[in-house]
Amino acid sequence: MSDSAATISVRIPVRATAQRRSRPSLTPYALVAPALTLMLMMLLGPLAGVIALSFTDYQLGAPSLSWIGLANYHEMFADKVFWISLRNTLVYVGIVVPGAVTAGLAIALLIQSGTSLRSLYRTIYFLPVMATLIAMAVVWEFMLHPQFGLVNGVLREVGISGPSWLQGRSTALYALCAIGIWQAAGFNMVLFLAGLVSIPKQLYEAAEIDGASSAWARFRLVTWPLLRPVTTFVVVISGIRSFQVFDTVHVLTKGGPSKSSEVLIHTMYTEGFEFFRSGYAAALAVVFLTFILLLTLIKSRLADRGAQYA
Amino acid sequence: MARIELTGIRKSFDATEVLKGIDLTIENGEFLSLVGPSGCGKSTLLRVIAGLEPQSAGQVTIDGSIVDGIRPSARNLAMVFQSYALYPHLSAFDNMAVPLRMRRLSTVERLPLLGSLLPSRRRRERSIRADIEKVAVQLEISHLLQRKPAQLSGGQRQRVAVGRAMVRQPEAFLFDEPLSNLDAKLRVHMRAELAELHRSLRSTFIYVTHDQAEAMTMSSRLAVMISGELVQVGRPAEIYDNPRDIRVAEFVGSPKINVMPGRIRDDGRIEVLGNILRLTSSQPPGNCRIGVRSERIELGSGPFSGDVIHVENMGAEAFVHLSLNGTDMRLIARVNDVRRLPDIGSHVPFNFAADAVLAFNSAGQRIAVTAEQAERIRERAVV
């Protein structure tokens, strides 16, 4: 986008000056203007706004604000809650990404190798992606209820007394991780299925003739390497999405008990919309954006490498 | 080195029967081409031999042992695919190493990091490298071994695919239209190279193609398949000169054989386009079809005639397309002397020798004809 704007603005004036030396043309700038305006308004403007806000003590609804420099950041780095929520977010990402990627790949492989009912299974596993997570979270709340929940009911049947998942300090975050995996696996499955379909069938036949008789050998020789571009994409997308985890936390635990399931976006929400400390929330948002940016950079770097046989 | 026997092979996909009972023996060291129009089941038959497709009925025997139900990987056959099926993420060297690594290395030795630490793996890798380099020299691809398939041209990929098949010295090679993705010039070149390779390896080759020219030029034997049946098996020259069925006659040979409607008269003589040939048949009277190869049609004189509608001059030879008077039938005649071609639109007489005629009954079966003795004609002329 910015590239093409640059080339146009450079090339056309050169040609224009060759014809009419007196006046540099405004046409290229006029042509780029609508797109540039939209981008400024929708993306760059708000971003700059958030960054600027993070250097102020603005409170939501306050008539004035003052520049306080890095004070928000100093406060944030000294705050225990910030570090807990950052750690929890990283734990969440660290569990949900491998979990959802493996589950998505496994489901995709199973569906792909099946003969009938493929579209039925596809739909079933994709349901969590389409459903409203807030509504689903309520269902999960029932399922994980310590007394009459389905999960503990099943555990009781086999003689294990389950903990109160969402109320226990040691289990709340992991229960949320499980829901996160459940929710993301379907989306990953669809991406993996698309990747699997694009692998030529003859490669499997060649592998079979070359002596790869076990399913694992064929997976290692053909499926896994040819899925690499898709896998990179899925890992990064799952990473970004699980960094953004908020709705289940907000509905089910509100970050509790005693901050054991507090995550970055939830902290941001509490600071910004419950304590109205918009400046401080903006500083949190900047930290969050840095992580997302990092993931995006890794993705574009890896995608370039994987593109050769994608 | 293997003798492959097929007995009563049948294959159905749902309700459609693709192979209708194939019996065929491929001798040790033979170059057999399975040839036929698209959709005749030749590729399916090859896949049945390879084990990629289970047959619905019948038996495949390799070197005396029945291989039905045995996995493709255990049959020790190598296959070259139409699309080459090279692993895109592996270099040419690694592609060729796959069958060797799969066979010579244990599962533990194949593990990515751990495996390479084992001394036994290093020893085996050395022998694998030596084997691949030997084959690479033979195929003249030594300088390409480090490249990925995407960096190779079609012909080079084809060589790597053949190399991957060669390195493990299989019982037999199966080729599934390996040249059809190459351009015309390279195809002719690779044809000669594959035939040469067969002579030097002296291994069993089974080659599937829809291109009759490929089949004719490379193979020691041809098996012509049409709609799921083996119609004729024989040496290329035999099939060309002596087709047993009109479909074989039409499929083999380029340009296509000229077919004219004929009739067996009550006295057993054959009549074509209003002219009586010096041929008799013992078949009952009725309609028949007469096939004459384009190179056996002699322009210039004779009882037949047609209008020239098109001339294809190839330089060394030319094909003259004739439209027969009053019909929409067309004939193609090959003219060896391109300096004496008829003009388009001109009317030319033509003839063909009695021994050039291949006669088929109305069902398409070849029927025997005998040339009339010259004396008999003279006698009749006297009477």
- Residue by residue, DSSP assigns A89-106 as HHHHHHHHHHHHHHHHHH
Where is average pLDDT lowest: A122-131, B3-12, B300-309?
A: A122-131
Angle at the Cα of B245 from the Cα atoms of B244 and B247, rounded to 5 degrees? 140
User: A230 with A267, same domain?
Assistant: yes
The stretch B137-155 carries a mean pLDDT of: 88
Name every chain A residue with its beta carbon within 8 A of the beta carbon of B85. Answer: 200, 202-203, 205-206
Query: Which residues contact residue A195 at a Cβ distance below 8 angstroms, ignoring those fewer than 6 apart?
Result: A108, A226, A227, A229, A230, A231
Mean pLDDT of all residues in chain A? Answer: 81
* DSSP states along A240-257: HHHHT--HHIIIIITT-S
Helix extents (H) in A114-227: 118-130, 133-143, 150-157, 172-197, 201-209, 215-218, 224-226
- CA A97 to chain B, closest CA, distance in angstroms equals 23
Nearest by CB to residue B85, choosing from A203, A212, A309, is: A203
Q: Encode pLDDT of A199-225 as tens digits.
A: 888 899 899 888 888 888 888 888 998
- CA A17 to chain B, closest CA, distance in angstroms equals 44
Residue A18 lies in a domain: yes
* pLDDT given at position A77: 83
Take residue B64 and report the two structure tokens written for it.
Answer: 């005396």
d(CA B119, CA B230): 52
Residue A64 lies in a domain: no
CB–CB contact A211 B81 (8 Å): no
* pLDDT given at position B380: 45
Question: In whole angstroms, what separates CA B209 from the centre of its chain?
Answer: 5
* pLDDT given at position A16: 46
The domain segmentation of chain B, as residue ranges, is 4-241, 255-382
- The boundaries of the domain holding residue A20 are 2-53
Residue A58 lies in a domain: no
Query: Which residues contact residue B37 at a Cβ distance below 8 angstroms, ignoring those fewer than 6 apart?
Result: B210, B226, B251
Take residue B179 and report the two structure tokens written for it.
Answer: 């040249």
User: A239 with A271, same domain?
Assistant: yes
Nearest by CB to residue A200, choosing from B72, B74, B85, is: B85
What separation, in Å, do the N-terminal and C-terminal C-alpha atoms of chain B show? 66
Take residue B32 and report the two structure tokens written for it.
Answer: 């057999």
d(CA A156, CA B373): 103
What φ, ψ does residue B365 adopt, rounded to 5°? -75, 145
Angle at the Cα of B337 from the Cα atoms of B335 and B343, rounded to 5 degrees? 70
Nearest by CB to residue B99, choosing from A210, A225, A228, is: A210
Q: Please, are residues B280 and B370 in contact by the beta-carbon 8 Å criterion?
A: yes
* CATH number assigned to the domain covering B4-241: 3.40.50.300
Name every chain B residue with its beta carbon within 8 A of the beta carbon of A210. Answer: 73, 98-99, 102, 164
**Domains in chain A, number:** 2
Query: Which residues contact residue B282 at a Cβ distance below 8 angstroms, ignoring those fewer than 6 apart?
Result: B268, B368
- CA B181 to chain A, closest CA, distance in angstroms equals 15
A3: pLDDT strictly greater than 50: no
d(CA B84, CA B181): 9
User: A85 with A151, same domain?
Assistant: yes
Angle at the Cα of B178 from the Cα atoms of B50 and B58, rounded to 5 degrees? 25
User: A150 with A259, same domain?
Assistant: yes
For residue A193, the one-letter residue type is L
User: A173 with A221, same domain?
Assistant: yes
Pairing of the two strands B286-292 and B330-335: unpaired
- CA A210 to chain B, closest CA, distance in angstroms equals 4
Residue A187 lies in a domain: yes
The stretch B143-160 carries a mean pLDDT of: 89
User: A136 with A219, same domain?
Assistant: yes
Domains B4-241 and B255-382 share a fold: no
Name the B residues in 158-217 with CB < 8 Å from any A CB.
164
d(CA A39, CA A8): 18
Q: Chain A residue closest to B102 (CA)?
A: A211
User: A49 with A92, same domain?
Assistant: no
- CA A21 to chain B, closest CA, distance in angstroms equals 48
What φ, ψ does residue B39 adopt, rounded to 5°? 80, 15
CB–CB contact A209 B87 (8 Å): no
Domain containing A84 — which CATH number? 1.10.3720.10
Query: Which residues contact residue A253 at a Cβ distance below 8 angstroms, ignoring those fewer than 6 apart?
Result: A166, A172, A176, A261
Q: Encode pLDDT of A51-74 as tens digits.
A: 888 888 877 777 777 788 787 788
Residue A156 lies in a domain: yes
Radius of gyration of chain B (CA): 26
* pLDDT given at position A23: 65
Name every chain A residue with its beta carbon within 8 A of the beta carbon of B103. Answer: 211
Q: Is B271 helix (H, G, I), strand (E, B) or coil?
A: strand
What separation, in Å, do the N-terminal and C-terminal C-alpha atoms of chain A show? 24
B382: pLDDT strictly greater than 50: no
Q: Does B71 touch chain A (CB under 8 A)?
A: yes
B226, B225, B224: which is closest to B234 by C-alpha?
B224
User: A208 with A126, same domain?
Assistant: yes
CB–CB contact A203 B79 (8 Å): no
* pLDDT given at position B321: 92
CB–CB contact A208 B71 (8 Å): yes
Residue A145 lies in a domain: yes
User: A10 with A80, same domain?
Assistant: no
Q: Encode pLDDT of B215-260 as tens digits.
A: 888 899 999 998 888 999 999 999 999 999 999 999 888 889 999 8
Name the A residues in 203-222 with CB < 8 Å from any B CB.
203, 205-213, 217, 221-222
B270, B281, B276, B297: which is closest to B353 by C-alpha?
B297
Half-sphere exposure of residue A89, counting CA atoms within 13 Å on the CB side? Answer: 25
User: A189 with A281, same domain?
Assistant: yes
pTM of the model: 0.77
B381: pLDDT strictly greater than 70: no
d(CA B94, CA B241): 46
pLDDT-derived band at B277 (thresholds 50, 70, 90) equals confident
Residue A242 lies in a domain: yes
pLDDT-derived band at A21 (thresholds 50, 70, 90) equals low
Nearest by CB to residue A209, choosing from B79, B87, B148, is: B79
Fold of B255-382: OB fold (Dihydrolipoamide Acetyltransferase, E2P) (2.40.50)
Q: Please, are residues A112 and A193 in contact by the beta-carbon 8 Å criterion?
A: yes
CB–CB contact B99 A211 (8 Å): yes
User: A123 with A19, same domain?
Assistant: no
User: A40 with A78, same domain?
Assistant: no
Q: What is the dihedral of CA B125, B130, B133, B137, to 10 degrees?
A: -170
Higher-confidence position of A149 and A230: A230
